[in-house]
Amino acid sequence: MTPETTTPEQIFRDFEQIPFFYIAILIFTALVLSSLVKRFIPALARLMPPRFSYYLLPMIPIFKLVITGVTLLLLVPTIVKPTMQNFIAFFGAVGLALGFAFKDYASSLIAGIIAIYEQPYRVGDRVTINGIYGEVQAINLRSLKLVTPDDDAVTIPHSCIWNGSIRNANDGCREQQCSALFYLHPEHDPEFVRQILRDVALTSPYTQFSRPVRVVLREFPLATQYRIRAYPIDGHDEFAFISDLTERGKAALREAGYKFASTRSPAMVDPDESAI
């Protein structure tokens, strides 16, 4: 049996049969809808109480994916003759071309689709990817956009999920744990220090009380490290919260007569930082 060969004439419609105006309208509508989703959902999130933004914003890439998928489904039959054989041949050819020519691009696109469903990051999450920390501002089909605390926008392809690890600080929640570190001279009573630092966290206006407030300590040769672990009401206040804890914690310890460590050992590496 000789294999059947398929010619382009058999797959594609005749040039004069292709409804270019309809295709243009379709693409234009998809672009307008995508743009509306991109503007309307964040505007809606701003109008609603802050906690709703963590449910609304992650919907953007899902809507965009649905719009793209539906557009493609409507578009392909206008160009390709609608038989099963033709569809297989068309998508096979497109897949092959993408596989060779745009391997990384295709990899990112597929990773993007997986990322939408697995949700290792959502819009509004604060994540660390490849050592870069920032808030996810947008999730596009190929990449995501992070904005770092220094206000730098960083574009990272979704393919990062294949091999790299992703640290998500809030994982879709409004709160995220924050830490403030203090190094004291080792000669002191830790019980009182822990109580003072706990009170510092409990009296901060930013503190979320539905989450625990903890003060943990580690002993180093030249200092005792104290770490306040607490959650701000809104994760966006992360740096303001840490600054508030640090400022008032130092003042409280100084008032209570505790001495700060004057020398730091090189071994005093913040375990959270080293884990990145």
Partner 1 sequence: MSEENDLKFWEFVKPGKFELPAEPASKRAASFFEKLFSGVSDDAGEGGIEAVQSELKNAPRSLIDWLAPYPCWKEATAAIKEALLPWLEDETFEGYSRVLVAPYGSGLGEMLQILADENKWTVLAAPDYSVLRTRNFSWLDALPAKSDKPLIIPRLEAFFLRHYNGLEHLRRLVSKLFHSRQRCIIGCNSWLWHFLDSAMHMRESFNKCYYLQSLSAQDLQSLFCSLETRKSYRPTVFRQADNGSFILPPEMTGKGRLDAAVIKADSSADAFPSAFLKKLAVESRGIPLVAWSIWRNSLRLAPDEDVAELAREVADKDAATSATAKTIWVKAFEDVELPTIPGDTGQTGAFLLLYLLQHDGLKTDAIFDLLSLEKSRLIGLLNRLHKAGIVVNENDVWRASWQGYPAIRRFLAEQDHLQDAM
Task: Give the binding site for partner 1 (CB under 8 A).
Answer: 49-51, 174, 195-196, 199-200, 202-203, 205, 208-209, 233-234, 237, 244, 247-248, 252, 255-256
Nearest residue (CB) to partner 1, 47 versus 73: 47
Q: How far is the CB of 245 from partner 1 (least distance, A)?
A: 11
Tell the smallest beta-carbon distance from residue 168 to partner 1 (Å): 20
CB of 101 to partner 1, least distance (A): 49
Min dist CB 203 to partner 1, Å, is 5
Nearer to partner 1, 156 or 200 (CB): 200
Q: From residue 211, how far is each of 37, 39, 187, 214, 229 by CA, in Å?
A: 33, 33, 31, 10, 10
Other beta carbons less than 10 A from residue 216's beta carbon = 12
What are the Cα distances from residue 258, in Å, to 33, 56, 187, 198?
61, 47, 9, 15
Q: Would you say 61 or 232 has its CB closer to partner 1?
A: 232
Using the minimum distance from each CB to partner 1, give the nearer residue, 67 or 196.
196
What DSSP character marks residue 185?
-
Q: How far is the CB of 87 from partner 1 (least distance, A)?
A: 50
Strands (E), the chain: 126-129, 132-139, 143-147, 153-157, 166-168, 178-184, 214-219, 224-230
Q: Choose between 188 and 248: whose C-beta lies nearer to partner 1.
A: 248
Q: Which of 166, 170, 168, 169 is CA-nearest to residue 130? A: 166
